[in-house]
Amino acid sequence: MSTFLRFGAYALLPTLAGALPAWAADDADIAALEQRIKALEQQLQSGAGKGAVIATSNGRSLTFKGDDFSFQVGGRLQLDAAAYDADQNGNDFGNGSRVRRAFLDVRGSAYEHWNYRFQYDFARPGGSDSSARGIRDAWLQYTGFAPAITVGQFKEPFGLEHLTSSLHTTFVERGLTNAFTPDRRIGIGISDNGNHWTYALGVFGETAEGDVDNEGDEGWDITGRVTYAPLNSNGKVVHLGLAGRQHTPEDSSNSLRFRERPESNITNVRLVDTGTLTDVENIQFAGLEAAAVFGPFSLQSEWIDTQVSRDNGTDDLDFSAWYAYTSFFLTGESRPYKNGVFDRIKPKSTVGQGGIGAWELALRYSQADLTDGSVTGGEEENLTFGVNWYATQNVRLSANYVKVLELDRAGNQYHDEKLDSAVVRAQIDF
């Protein structure tokens, strides 16, 4: 209700009270009118009348709620910069900066059992990454019974670090296991969760902005994930997860190539790269997850195995990747855990309110092996040291030092490359 209407209603209250004709002004009528006036005043103050829209804030975002719907507009901005020091073969990785993500995020609910979300990224790069740009999440979910049903474009349920929002990952970029994670695709899925468990299963096609000029049948996936947290309380978490995925390419060539940047998105160089794989019948992925949080200390690890089945007498292939990392909060915070993934860090004290924010140190080792049979995609080992400063719940500065410990990619210009990278990020979301 507008300020003008509120003012007018309040101004009418004493008029109503004093405008009773004499014949109605007995004690019972006056008492009844006073009760009605009081109820009307409370209704005006709360804004809870029929058809009213109420704006609420949790200190980070603004949500509009009506009788049958809610609507929240949000977004995120991540600005990255990186510098590279390579000492082999004169390779140039391209020092520079980039708007890594610039999301517009709309979400909410409709009536009692429907949820929706639409997310658009204005900063996704073009070129070889064009299939990943633009529309990110675009889905509708029904929660009227368990499990919930989701239809649209959303993340395939595979991988702990992959399913954790980029806002809340410990490092600037995900580890080398990211070479095998499917990101978002159009599909239908079911999911459910409790305090100690989650499960999700879905069938997926291609992305919302895939190659519309491709006349062949699009590939499809069946993907599922289950998690169990035998310990799940404030500051104490033990997480175990298992995920599986099968990709059938049909006539498309999508997802028939595995490659990954050296844990920095500024460069377009992929130190490990299988190239396009031919004669692929299907690809099976298996993932194992483990994590633990004990106060300010945490551990996390994942392993993904990828089996490529090929026909026409071509050899099958076996690729893999894994990482393990630890983190520690100097200021005593703990990593929050919810529904099988890690959530937003909430500093004990925030900058601007007399505090210093939350400070976190982290160390990760990651390894990927994309060489098997006739395919020499390379073997890479990285060590990453990270520092995060959470000034508030929604303002974060991060710095990573990434060292390529070993790169074995015979016959390629990057073979035996020793690369050091310094990566920084400024992030805000609402």
Whether 70 maps to a domain, the answer reads yes
Distance in angstroms (rounded) separating the CA atoms of residues 265 and 130: 15
Residue 296's pLDDT band, with cuts at 50, 70 and 90, is very high
C-alpha distances in Å from residue 300, one per residue of 139, 228, 289, 328, 362: 29, 14, 8, 12, 11
14-24: per-residue pLDDT in tens? 444 444 444 34
Distance in angstroms (rounded) separating the CA atoms of residues 76 and 393: 13
Whether 3 maps to a domain, the answer reads no
Closest residue by Cα to residue 404 from 388, 390, 415: 415
Whether 234 maps to a domain, the answer reads yes
Residue 164 contacts residue 417 (beta carbons within 8 Å): no
Whether 1 maps to a domain, the answer reads no
299-350: per-residue pLDDT in tens? 999 999 999 999 888 899 999 999 999 999 999 999 999 999 999 999 999 9
Residue 160 contacts residue 241 (beta carbons within 8 Å): yes
Q: Does the CA dihedral 253-189-63-165 come out positive or negative?
A: negative
Whether 187 maps to a domain, the answer reads yes
Residue 158: domain span: 53-429
How many separate domains does the chain show? 1
Whether 27 maps to a domain, the answer reads no
Question: Which residues are CB-contacts of 165 (< 8 A; sequence separation ≥ 6)?
Answer: 341
Angle subtended at Cα 276 by Cα 176 and Cα 81, rounded to the nearest 5 degrees: 40
Distance in angstroms (rounded) separating the CA atoms of residues 408 and 315: 21
Which regions of 4-156 does DSSP assign to beta strands (E)?
A: 54-57, 62-65, 69-86, 96-110, 114-121, 134-142, 148-155
At 97, which amino acid appears?
Answer: S
Whether 381 maps to a domain, the answer reads yes
Whether 420 maps to a domain, the answer reads yes
pLDDT averaged over every residue in the chain = 86
112-157: per-residue pLDDT in tens? 899 999 999 998 654 344 444 689 999 999 999 999 999 999 999 9
Distance in angstroms (rounded) separating the CA atoms of residues 325 and 252: 36
Domain CATH for 252: 2.40.160.10
221-243: per-residue pLDDT in tens? 999 999 999 999 999 999 999 99
User: In the chain, what is the straight-line distance between the N-terminal and C-terminal CA atoms, in Å?
Assistant: 25
Look at 112 and 45; give whichever has higher pLDDT. 112
Strand (E) or helix (H) holding 161? helix 160-163
